[in-house]
Amino acid sequence: MRRLGGCVVIALMLLACRTNADTLLRQASVKWYSVGSSAVSEPTGVESMGVNPSGMVSASNSQFISGYSSHFQNSFMTGMVGTTIPLSKTITVGLIGAIRRVDDIPESMGQGLSGVKVGSFSDTEVTGKVGVAIQLNPNWSLGAAVGAYNHSVYSESGSQWSIDLGTQYDFQIAKVGISVQNVGQRPVEWTSGQKDQRPMEINVGLSKTLGPVTGMVSATQIDSKTECNIGVMLEVWDHLMITGGVQDVFDNWSGAVGVDLNLESFSLIYSYGQSTELGETHKLGLEVGI
């Protein structure tokens, strides 16, 4: 009966999913990208602050991670750097930042798989978050993060701050993750005086581990639009994990695969995918245990 209930919940989540909803931190990440942004219910260390800060509890020691990707001969790039520091066996704090830089992309270079022309423009987005995660018991964790955001387009710039809240619970038959992002936010205030409100995001995820395989499904809702993501992680051996995922399954979907090579004190992470607008995407990451 429990298995049937879990299958029904997953099916309902899949049926609810329709459109794209991405954030800068998720766009810049390496691990998250390789599982189709589906790991809402899986602890992934410092990268968890991109969607569910309660996942930071997986960091058993101090952790440093960085990631980088570029497109159109380095005219479009994303970068990320972050760290987690366990204060005790149950409390972990983290800090993460990401940047997306678009630098005068000519129209002739901006043709993705769908033939969409990006155009010629300059655009810079920067975001940073500081958060804390608490392990209440072996099955339940809570997390919160405060973030700042700045966006510059030509001579215009705008900024805001917001709060993210999240939780993860292991029901044994499956793990569940829920988070709410952009809570209590201020509107983006542009230098021209205009104000834009970024919508609140709600993320729900389920995951199940069977032996070396972990399957994940998540739904992200912004306003009335919902995106569905699925992913899988396969532990080939203690030092090697292969990942794969599909983001936005029912609409503008994109797939990715990745490899995580764990060499004890550090890990090398690589992911590859296809993006409708950006074409082939290669991402490199480095995770160091301190």
CA nearest to 147, candidates 50, 58, 31, 12: 50
What fold, for 2-289? Answer: Porin (2.40.160)
C-alpha–C-alpha distance, residues 150 and 99, integer Å? 10
Query: Tell me, what DSSP letter sits at residue 276?
Result: T
- b/e burial code for range 63-78 (CB count within 10 A of at least 16 → b): bbbbbbbbbbeebbbb
Full-model pTM: 0.80
Quick one: pLDDT at residue 6? 44
C-alpha–C-alpha distance, residues 93 and 144, integer Å? 10
Quick one: pLDDT at residue 46? 84
- Spatial contact of 56 and 107, defined as CB atoms under 8 Å apart: no
**Residues in the chain, pLDDT under 50:** 1-22, 107-119
Quick one: pLDDT at residue 166? 95
pLDDT tens per residue across span 222-232: 777 788 999 99
Quick one: pLDDT at residue 115? 42
Quick one: pLDDT at residue 28? 79
Quick one: pLDDT at residue 161? 85
- Measured on CA atoms in the order 10, 12, 18, 21, is the torsion positive or negative? negative
- Spatial contact of 142 and 167, defined as CB atoms under 8 Å apart: yes
C-alpha–C-alpha distance, residues 13 and 162, integer Å? 26
Quick one: pLDDT at residue 141? 95
pLDDT tens per residue across span 103-145: 765 544 444 444 444 445 577 889 999 999 999 999 999 999 9
Helix and strand counts by DSSP (H, E) for the chain: 3, 16
